[in-house]
Amino acid sequence: IRYPDNTVFENLDWTIEANQHWQLSGPNGSGKTCLLSLITGDHPQCYVNDIKVFGFQRGTGESIWQIKQYIGYVSTALQWEYRVSIGLRNVIISGFYDSIGLYNKSTDMQKAIADQWLALLGMSDRADEPFNGLSYGEQRLLLIARAMVKHPPLLILDEPCLGLDDMNRQVVLALIERICTASETAVLYVNHRSEDRIRGIDHHLALG
């Protein structure tokens, strides 16, 4: 990936296999976010590089939404964007549609799956509470549940502990560990804190 005055990285050969968990680390500016945007199709240079995602060769006519249906994504940027005042259950259900807010009529099956995630998070009695009334750490947990609700083959967690205190960080890390050990979703965990290791993530790509 090159810009007029900078080469972010070159000759990178990297494959994530099914149900394989990776930690992606590196200092700020090392290209972590750039690499994620190549995977999700949000980077303009994804079509001029040799990139294959879920069997799709980038630039062969696939739509960005065809790619995104296979990916669950959580970041602090998403948390800032998710400013709609809807209930916790509906936030999780919105993950089926990759939407910020819920604009489709939910099915009984979707509600049941969302309620299972609320139970896992210990929030069963708060299903109708507004999302913007949660603490910062609770919002992060709910967005992880939203990303997982469609059972994606790949879950991308971009700095999921950024901005959290020690207690909330440990809760988030425990949830990620559970996903790694108890689901068939491959996890790509992005961070720059070497101490935030997660059991079950045994592959590591370091940039910078």
pLDDT > 60? residue 184: yes
Q: Per the domain annotation, does 64 fall within a domain? A: no
Q: Each residue of 168-177: pLDDT tens digit?
A: 999 999 999 9
Looking at the structure, tell me whether residues 91 and 133 fall in a common domain: yes
Quick one: tokens of 123?
Answer: 């929030």
157 domain residue, yes or no:
no
Domain encompassing residue 146: 76-152
Is 99 within a domain?
yes
- Domain membership of residue 105 (yes or no) is yes
Share of the chain above pLDDT 70, in %: 82
Note the pLDDT of residue 39.
80
| pTM to 2 decimal places | 0.89
C-alpha 134: how far from chain center: 19
Q: Are residues 33 and 99 in the same domain?
A: no
Residue-wise pLDDT for 48-61, tens only, equals 566 676 666 665 56
If asked whether residues 111 and 44 sit together in one domain, one would say no
In the prediction, which pLDDT does 93 show? 98
Distances (CA, A) of 47 to 63, 73, 202: 12, 21, 30
- CA dist 110 to 53, 92, 143, 151, Å? 27, 9, 16, 12
DSSP assignments along 163-174, one per residue: T--HHHHHHHHH
